[in-house]
Amino acid sequence: MSSSIEDKQLAAEAAVKYIQTGMTIGLGSGSTVNYMLEALVKRIKEGMDVKGIPSSVKTEKLARKLGIPLIGFSKATKIDLAIDGADEVNSSLQLTKGGGGSLVREKIIDVAATKLIIIVDYSKMVTHLGSFPLPVEVVPFGWEKTAERIAAFGCNPKLRKSDQDVFISDNHNYILDCQFDLIEQPEQLHEQLKQTVGVVETGLFVNMTDMVIAAKNGIIDTRHRG
């Protein structure tokens, strides 16, 4: 087993310790979150009573397979805690997310949660965002023009493909992976992109994270907002 996998498991198991019986949990997406689901199942089998709201079709399928009780927004009075992954985390705990294509649903859940914990292996910790292409979900109609408007902000947008076909998000939209040299002002860039016609949501998760649990070589590094 590689050290990266072990670190993901370690971060996932550390996050589960913050879950208490009776909570409604926002279930994020990605490989590290998958390890969290496996750790959560162990707690459920020991008698913990929780319900989860999945952020993607993949997460929902895995959660059902593992036997995690699920609930929808129509029946959830609140989300006590959301646990999610990230593609990049900077020193201010701002995030780039959406490499898996579930950024809209992830953001809906993460914003609704009373507390948001991000779990990553240490390779995702960066000084500045931008090395990982920024995912931007866009309406399929006229996406070419939307890409032109996005490019004006100083990036190279590329339409995401799955094999030879266009990648379709869980919300039936397209995703443009936008390579910036550096994202120095993520909050400002997010607002500019959100005001662009055709843009549904950006993969910039700004001022949302309460805690980051990062693992490196078997050691946990926990960081809090503020």
Element (H, E) at 217: none
Q: Which of 88, 106, 137, 201 is catalytic?
A: 106
SS (H, E, C) 103-172: HHHHHHHHHHECCEEEEEEHHHECCCECCCCEEEEECCCCHHHHHHHHHCCCCEEEECEECCEECCCCCC
| Active-site residue flag, 187 | no
CA atoms within 13 A on the CB side of 180: 20
Q: What are the two backbone dihedrals, phi and then psi, of residue 67, each rounded to the nearest 5 degrees?
A: 95, 25
CA 54 to chain centre: 11
d(CA 102, CA 201): 11
Residues identified as active-site: 106
